[in-house]
């Protein structure tokens, strides 16, 4: 009963639900690490033009944009209390942990 899912944006592996159901219906879970809300921050992302894109392309592009923002924000944590002291620097995830997470995304091809 403790299956966990990986966030495709930041690589945090403590999500409680799969991020998307059929047809990219989002879980509405908010990643405790990067703060992305699945089903909201993807289709509501207005940083790029959605017209002519498939749902998969919209989701992937919104993830890429959010990930860049999260990296530029120095891995700021959405829910600081969800992370043990040794993994964070104030309200930021330590870089070593962040790099490990980002490598996890690449490895799992999320
Ligand atoms: Zn995340």
pLDDT digits (tens, 9 = 90+) for 64-93: 999 999 999 999 999 999 999 999 999 999
- Measure the CA–CA gap between 6 and 94, rounded to whole angstroms: 18
Q: Which residues neighbour 70 within 8 Å (Cβ) at sequence distance 6 or greater?
A: 9, 10, 34, 35, 76
CA of 53 to the centre of ligand 1 (A): 23
Residues with C-beta atoms within 5 A of ion ligand 1: 7, 9-10, 12, 31, 33-34
pLDDT value of position 107:
80
CA of 18 to the centre of ligand 1 (A): 12
Instruction: Over range 54-63, report the average pLDDT.
Output: 96
The DSSP 8-state label assigned to residue 38 in this structure reads T
CA of 14 to the centre of ligand 1 (A): 9
Query: Is pLDDT above 60 for 18?
Result: yes
């Amino acid at each position: 009963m403790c299956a966990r899912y990986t966030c495709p944006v930041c690589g945090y592996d403590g999500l409680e639900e799969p991020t998307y159901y059929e047809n990219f219906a989002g879980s509405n879970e908010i990643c405790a690490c990067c703060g992305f809300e699945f089903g909201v921050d993807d289709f509501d992302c207005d940083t790029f033009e959605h017209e002519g894109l498939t749902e998969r392309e919209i989701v992937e592009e919104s993830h890429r944009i959010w990930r860049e923002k999260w990296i530029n924000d120095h891995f700021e944590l959405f829910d600081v209390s969800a992370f043990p002291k040794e993994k964070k620097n104030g309200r930021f995830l330590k870089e070593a942990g962040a790099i490990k997470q980002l490598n996890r995304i690449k490895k799992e091809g999320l």
